[in-house]
Amino acid sequence: MIRLIASFSLLASAALAAPDGATIYADLCSSCHAQTRLGGTGPALIPESLGRLKGDKLEAVIAEGRAMTQMPAFKATLTPGEIAAVASYVSAPLAEAPLWTEAEIAASRDLNPGYSPATAPVFAADPMNITLVVETGDSHISVLDGDTFEVLDRFETPFAVHGGPKFSPDGRYVFVMSRDGWVQKYDIWSLQEVGRVRAGLNSRNIAMSHDGKWIAVANYLPMTLTILSTGDLSVAKVIEVTGRKGTPSRVSAVYQAPDRESFILALKDVPEIWEVATDPDAGPYHDGFVHSHEAGMEESLAAEKGLFARRRIDVSAPLDDFFFDHGYRNLIGANREGETGVVVNLDVGREIADLPLPGMPHLGSGISWMRDGRRVMAVPHLNEGRISVIDMTDWSLVKTIETSGPGFFLRSHDGSPYFWADVFTGPNKGQMHIIDKETLEVVKVLTPEPGKTVAHTEFTKDGRHALVSVWEQDGAVIVFDATTFEEVRRLPMVKPSGKYNVWNKITFEDGTSH
């Protein structure tokens, strides 16, 4: 009996001693991150949002806080065991998939009461040569004059902006998305935020419709596509994403296909690509046929018509990370299983070719140009130090260009004979390769900040200057002369990531990702 009581009390004291992550979270974290963990003034703390912030890295953020944000350091308040318990609590999946209904999206809409639209740009700079710099280190965007490189404004964004911001077709407004699903609208002419709305709980990217009326938001959580009106950020439609056989699917990304007057969706969990019409007179958008391997079984599905009509295109395995040809007739997607690229003809709605692209091609940052009268595209690989150049007429591999490490982004400009390719990981990270678009030879390797990540290039409107990010907390944007490769200016920035020139984006410049 005495032994039994002793073991009970041992268990009780062990239970008392074990820190409870949920209780600590409720006491110290929920006021900013919400009791639901879906985010409030602070970001959502769920595995989908934390991404690669795991284990020691996550504990370090809780212990040390985050510089230049509201996130305080908890190392004086919590023991290492308590910090580990909260880290483990926020790393666990939510017990139930959260809902985020149309009503909740609408209720999150937060329009800037102080916004007053200007009738003309409030600055003298060329509005077509404005370049935005996303500074992820302290969640801001700098608005640069693309001629003088003066910072015209620096505005706060939601936490963890990802993907390219999307401009209205006239270049006046820009829409920015965060991984927590916030979409922010900013008026470049007025240098003011118009407002923001939370379109999803965990989102991937956004796309602008051909006519500038709609913004589509690709969501992982919930598994939906949210379509917003660009005018006032109201909800136009929330489309539940479910495969033919009823399997719900995350949306890996949504792309604008202006020539087709549609959005194209990459689905993560089902072997389908979706096309959603942005043309009010679209259709009928036939859902095509279900092809079954059972002999003779072919079932025709219903057609949808009009604005936001949906068409399904069957593929042999889920594809993501799309690159489109001119005219948006074909897309190239990555089949992560087989490490191949697959060409899908969107007109006929089926796969037409395979491409050998092992090593995780990053098609989304591919670029294309005319070489010897034929259109070619180049794509970097996230796992290997090489760039594949593909002939877009017969889908053959023209050349594999060796680089000093795996890269993330490529950029060029019609006005430049070169394209710029970074090295994002590995011992040579920070090297920038400049490659001749005709000979496909590396003509120069720049190492502007040895040991630091230097990545992502954007050109000015005329292609004369190339802007490169020193992707560090105390980072910078370096402006290079795109012909001599000499450094022209260095602008201090807080962990700058992508840069986006209005003209290059709204004209769908060949050298830029769309």
Q: State in angstroms the smallest separation of the CB of 134 from ligand DHE.
A: 7
Picking from 398, 395, 374, 372, the residue whose alpha carbon sits closest to that of residue 387 is: 398
Q: State in angstroms the smallest separation of the CB of 24 from ligand DHE.
A: 27
132 versus 343: smaller Cβ distance to ligand DHE: 132
262 versus 497: smaller Cβ distance to ligand DHE: 497
Which residues sit at the interface with ligand DHE, rule CB under 6 A? 51, 136, 162-164, 204-205, 253, 321, 364-365, 408-409, 456, 497-498, 513
Neighbour tally for 354: CB within 10 Å: 14
Q: State in angstroms the smallest separation of the CB of 301 from ligand DHE.
A: 28
Query: What is the side-by-side order of every strand in the sheet holding 173-177?
Result: 110-111, 192-198, 182-187, 173-177, 166-167
Residue type, 82: E
Tokens 């962990």 found at: 495
25 versus 274: smaller Cβ distance to ligand DHE: 274
Neighbour tally for 350: CB within 10 Å: 14
52 versus 293: smaller Cβ distance to ligand DHE: 52
Q: State in angstroms the smallest separation of the CB of 114 from ligand DHE.
A: 29
Q: State in angstroms the smallest separation of the CB of 372 from ligand DHE.
A: 27
How far is residue 257's CA from residue 238's CA, in Å, rounded to a whole number?
Answer: 19
Neighbour tally for 42: CB within 10 Å: 18
Backbone angles phi, psi at 455, to 5 degrees: -155, 165
How far is residue 112's CA from residue 508's CA, in Å, rounded to a whole number?
Answer: 30
Residues 320 and 252: beta-carbon distance below 8 Å: yes
Q: State in angstroms the smallest separation of the CB of 141 from ligand DHE.
A: 12
How far is residue 331's CA from residue 320's CA, in Å, rounded to a whole number?
Answer: 10
254 versus 313: smaller Cβ distance to ligand DHE: 254
How far is residue 393's CA from residue 409's CA, in Å, rounded to a whole number?
Answer: 23
139 versus 330: smaller Cβ distance to ligand DHE: 139
How far is residue 427's CA from residue 233's CA, in Å, rounded to a whole number?
Answer: 44
Residues 206 and 175: beta-carbon distance below 8 Å: yes
Bridge partner list, 459: 466
Q: State in angstroms the smallest separation of the CB of 509 from ligand DHE.
A: 12
84 versus 477: smaller Cβ distance to ligand DHE: 477
Neighbour tally for 152: CB within 10 Å: 17
Residue type, 208: M
End-to-end CA distance of the chain: 74
74 versus 424: smaller Cβ distance to ligand DHE: 424
DSSP 241-267: -B-TTS-B--EEEEEEEGGGTEEEEEE
136 versus 416: smaller Cβ distance to ligand DHE: 136
349 versus 406: smaller Cβ distance to ligand DHE: 406
Q: State in angstroms the smallest separation of the CB of 362 from ligand DHE.
A: 8
Q: State in angstroms the smallest separation of the CB of 434 from ligand DHE.
A: 17
Q: State in angstroms the smallest separation of the CB of 334 from ligand DHE.
A: 10
